[in-house]
C-alpha cells in the first residue's frame, strides 16, 4: 500500500515522456525565416527520399454518371433486392454487399428515383453499421435526401457523400482493407449496371468506351488490393473473385497514342487551365464485351446470393 503514491508519481513522469516520444518534437529549433535560393535548392535536392503512393478509384456515382441517362430508362430489376441484406453473414460478403448497395443507391439517385434512393440509403446505413462503419450515413443525411427528392443533383451528391464518408471513416480507423473490399463490390455492381445498360439504345458505342475506360479504375483498385492481400485474407479472396474480370481487361487492345497538353485561355480570376488529350486508348470489341458481360453477371450474381 505504501508504494501506491510512488507508482502514481512514476506514472506522472513516464506518461508525458511516452507522449512526447511518440510524436515529432520541436526542440532546439532556430527561429524560422526565409531561406535563400541556395538553401531552397538544397532542400529540393533532399526531397524524394520518402515516397508514399496512393492508387485511387472513382466513386460508384462518378463511374455511373459518365453514362448519359437521358435516353435510358430506370430498371428496378437491376437492383440487388433489399431483402438480400439479411443473407450476408460474414465480413467479406457484408462489405461487398455494402459496395453493391451503395452503387444501387447511386443508380437510383442518378435517375432521380426518390423512393428507391431513400430505401437504398436506409439499406446502406444498416449495412454500414453491420460492418461497424458508423456515422457515414446519419439522420441528417437521410433528412437532406428527403428534403431534396425533387433534385437529381442533390440526390447524386448525397449518394456520393455517403460513399466519401465511408472512405473517411475507414481511413481514420485504419481500415484500408475495408475500402478495398467495399470498392470491389461497388466496381462489380457498376460494371453490372453498365453492361446491362449497353443495349440497343443508340448509346452502345459510348457505353462500350466507358466500359473500356474502366480498365484504369480496375488497375488502380487491383494495385491497391495487392498491397493489402498479405494483411487480410478477405482481400486475397476478393482478388481471386475479380481475376476473370481483370484478365479480360488485361487482354483488351490499348491503342497507343501521344498525350498532348495545351494551355487554354481563362477568364480573369480563374486558375490557369490545361487541356489534356490523346494518349493511349483502351478499346473493347463486341466479342470482348460479350465475355465481360457474361463474367460480370456471373460474379455479381455470386456476390449478391453469397
Partner 1 sequence: MKCIRQIQLLLLLIPTGPLSLVAQDCVDYHKLGDCMMDRQKGYKLYSQSKSVSMDPTDTVEFNIVFYGQKDYIFSFCTHGKLYPIHYVLLDPESDKVLYDNEKDRYIESLGIGFDVTKTLTIRVDVVARKASSEEIEEYVGCLGLLIQYRNYTRKKVNLQM
The H or E element that residue 11 is part of is helix 4-21
Question: Taking CB under 8 A as the rule, does residue 4 contact partner 1?
Answer: yes
Site size with partner 1, rule: CB under 8 A? 81
Please state, in angstroms and rounded to a whole number, the distance separating the CA atoms of residues 138 and 145.
11
Interacting residue with partner 1 among 29, 70, 139, 265 (CB under 8 A): 29
Q: Which three cell numbers stand for residue 301?
A: 450474381
Please state, in angstroms and rounded to a whole number, the distance separating the CA atoms of residues 270 and 70.
31
- Binding to partner 1 (CB under 8 A) within 133-162 occurs at 157, 160
3-state secondary structure of 13: helix
CA distances from 202 to 20, 287, 288, 297 (A): 64, 19, 19, 22
- Binding to partner 1 (CB under 8 A) within 247-276 occurs at 259, 261, 264, 266, 270-276
CB 182 within 8 A of CB 166: yes
Alpha-carbon Rg for the chain in angstroms: 24
CB 198 within 8 A of CB 207: yes
Interacting residue with partner 1 among 172, 202, 265, 287 (CB under 8 A): 172
Interacting residue with partner 1 among 2, 3, 31, 202 (CB under 8 A): 31
Closest approach, Cβ 76 to partner 1, in A, equals 26
Closest approach, Cβ 65 to partner 1, in A, equals 8
Which of these segments, 72-80, 82-90, 123-131, 217-225, binds partner 1 (CB under 8 A)? 217-225
Closest approach, Cβ 45 to partner 1, in A, equals 11
Q: Which three cell numbers stand for residue 48?
A: 524524394
Rank residues 23 and 89 by Cβ distance to partner 1 and give the closer one: 23
Closest approach, Cβ 233 to partner 1, in A, equals 25
Q: Is the dihedral of CA 91, 95, 100, 105 positive or negative?
A: positive
- Binding to partner 1 (CB under 8 A) within 173-212 occurs at 205-206, 208-209, 212
Closest approach, Cβ 93 to partner 1, in A, equals 24
Closest approach, Cβ 81 to partner 1, in A, equals 26
- Binding to partner 1 (CB under 8 A) within 32-51 occurs at 32-35, 39-40, 43-44, 46-51
Q: Which three cell numbers stand for residue 84?
A: 438480400
Rank residues 167 and 194 by Cβ distance to partner 1 and give the closer one: 167
Taking alpha carbons only, the member of 66, 142, 132, 71 closest to residue 98 is: 132
Rank residues 87 and 253 by Cβ distance to partner 1 and give the closer one: 253
Amino acid at each position: 500500500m505504501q508504494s501506491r503514491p510512488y507508482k502514481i508519481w512514476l506514472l506522472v513522469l513516464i506518461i508525458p515522456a511516452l507522449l512526447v516520444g511518440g510524436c515529432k518534437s520541436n526542440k532546439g529549433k532556430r527561429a524560422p525565416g526565409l531561406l535563400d535560393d541556395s538553401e531552397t535548392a538544397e532542400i529540393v535536392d533532399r526531397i524524394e527520399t520518402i515516397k508514399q503512393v496512393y492508387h485511387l478509384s472513382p466513386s460508384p456515382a462518378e463511374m455511373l454518371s459518365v453514362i448519359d441517362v437521358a435516353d435510358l430508362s430506370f430498371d428496378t430489376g437491376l437492383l440487388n433486392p433489399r431483402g438480400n441484406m439479411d443473407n450476408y453473414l460474414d465480413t467479406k460478403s457484408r462489405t461487398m454487399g455494402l459496395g453493391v448497395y451503395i452503387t444501387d443507391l447511386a443508380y437510383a439517385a442518378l435517375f432521380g428515383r426518390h423512393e428507391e434512393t431513400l430505401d437504398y440509403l436506409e439499406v446502406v446505413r444498416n449495412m454500414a453499421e453491420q460492418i461497424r462503419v458508423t456515422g457515414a450515413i446519419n439522420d441528417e443525411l437521410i433528412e437532406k435526401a428527403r428534403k431534396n427528392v425533387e433534385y437529381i443533383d442533390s440526390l447524386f451528391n448525397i449518394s456520393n457523400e455517403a460513399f466519401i464518408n465511408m472512405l473517411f471513416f475507414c481511413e481514420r480507423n485504419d481500415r484500408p482493407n475495408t475500402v478495398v473490399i467495399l470498392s470491389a463490390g461497388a466496381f462489380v455492381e457498376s460494371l453490372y449496371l453498365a453492361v446491362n445498360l449497353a443495349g440497343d439504345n443508340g448509346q452502345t458505342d459510348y457505353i462500350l468506351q466507358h466500359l473500356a475506360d474502366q480498365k484504369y479504375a480496375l488497375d488502380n483498385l487491383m494495385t491497391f488490393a495487392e498491397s493489402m492481400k498479405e494483411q487480410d485474407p478477405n482481400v486475397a479472396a476478393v482478388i481471386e473473385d475479380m481475376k476473370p474480370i481483370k484478365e479480360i481487361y488485361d487482354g483488351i487492345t490499348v491503342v497507343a497514342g501521344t498525350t498532348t497538353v495545351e494551355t487554354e485561355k481563362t477568364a480573369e480570376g480563374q486558375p490557369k487551365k490545361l487541356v489534356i488529350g490523346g494518349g493511349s486508348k483502351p478499346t473493347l470489341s463486341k466479342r470482348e464485351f460479350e465475355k465481360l458481360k457474361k463474367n460480370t453477371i456471373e460474379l455479381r450474381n455470386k456476390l449478391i446470393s453469397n
